[in-house]
C-alpha cells in the first residue's frame, strides 16, 4: 500500500514538474529569494547541497511544516511571500538557517530532485532501458535548476532519512 501511494505521488510530482518547466524554475527561484521581475537582477543565492545542509533541512522540515500550518500558511505552495514572514524567519533561525533564502534554495533543490529519487525507487525491477527513458526526462530540469550529479547522489545516499522527514511533515 505504502509503495502504491509513493508511486502515485511520484507520478503526480513528475507530471507537475514536467508541466511547469521554466515557470516551475521561476517559482523555485522566488522561493529561494530571486525575483528578477521587480529589480531586473537575480537576487537568489547559490547553495550547494552538502551533508550538513541536508541534515539541517531534514531536521527542520517536520516542525517547519507543522508550524507553518498552525500559522495558516499553504505549505504546498511554499511561496516567497510567506517564507519571509516574521514568524517563519524566526522559526528558520531557531533551526540554524542564516536566511530564509538559504532554506528556500535548499528546499527548491531537494524538491526538484525528490520526484526523480522517488521514480528511481519505483523503477526497481524495470529494464535499464525503461529506467533510463523515464529518468532522463528530469535532466533538463536539473540543468535549469543548477543541480549537480553530486547533489543527486547525496540525496540518493540519504533517501531513507529524507522520505521519513517528508512522511513526518505530512502527518
Residue 79: predicted pLDDT:
57
Residue 41 falls inside a structural domain? no
Q: Which of 18-22, 49-53, 61-65 comes out lowest in average pLDDT?
A: 18-22
State whether residue 156 is helix, strand or coil: helix
Name the band, by pLDDT with cuts 50, 70 and 90, for residue 81. low
CB 120 within 8 A of CB 135: yes
The domain in which residue 165 lies consists of 2-18+28-34+47-169
The answer to the question of residue 39 being in a domain is no
Taking the CA atoms of residue 25, residue 30, residue 36 and residue 39 in that order, the dihedral angle to the nearest 10 degrees is 180
Average pLDDT over residues 134-151: 87
pLDDT in the model for residue 160: 94
| Confidence grade of residue 78 (pLDDT, cut at 50, 70, 90) | low
Q: How far is CA 37 from CA 26, 27, 141, 144, in A?
A: 10, 12, 21, 18
CA–CA dist 53, 84 (Å, integer): 20
Compare 3 and 71 and report the one with higher pLDDT: 71
Q: Is residue 134 one of the residues assigned to a domain?
A: yes
Q: Which three cell numbers stand for residue 5?
A: 501511494
Task: State the average pLDDT over residues 66-88.
Answer: 73
Position 42 in a domain: no
Question: What's the total number of domains in the chain?
Answer: 1
- Under 8 Å between Cβ of 42 and 54: no
pTM of the predicted structure, to 2 decimals: 0.71
Amino acid at each position: 500500500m505504502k509503495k502504491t501511494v509513493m508511486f502515485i505521488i511520484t507520478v503526480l510530482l513528475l507530471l507537475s514538474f514536467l508541466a511547469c518547466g521554466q515557470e516551475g524554475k521561476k517559482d523555485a527561484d522566488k522561493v529561494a529569494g530571486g525575483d528578477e521581475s521587480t529589480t531586473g537582477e537575480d537576487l537568489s543565492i547559490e547553495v550547494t547541497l552538502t551533508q550538513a545542509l541536508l541534515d539541517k533541512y531534514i531536521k527542520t522540515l517536520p516542525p517547519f511544516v507543522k508550524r507553518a500550518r498552525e500559522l495558516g500558511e499553504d505549505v504546498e505552495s511554499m511561496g516567497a511571500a510567506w517564507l519571509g514572514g516574521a514568524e517563519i524567519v524566526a522559526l528558520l533561525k531557531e533551526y540554524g538557517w542564516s536566511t530564509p533564502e538559504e532554506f528556500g534554495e535548499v528546499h527548491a533543490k531537494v524538491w526538484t530532485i525528490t520526484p526523480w529519487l522517488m521514480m528511481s525507487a519505483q523503477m526497481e525491477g524495470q529494464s535499464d532501458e525503461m529506467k533510463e527513458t523515464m529518468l532522463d526526462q528530469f535532466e533538463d530540469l536539473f540543468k535549469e535548476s543548477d543541480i549537480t550529479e553530486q547533489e543527486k547522489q547525496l540525496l540518493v545516499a540519504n533517501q531513507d532519512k529524507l522520505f521519513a522527514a517528508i512522511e513526518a511533515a505530512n502527518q
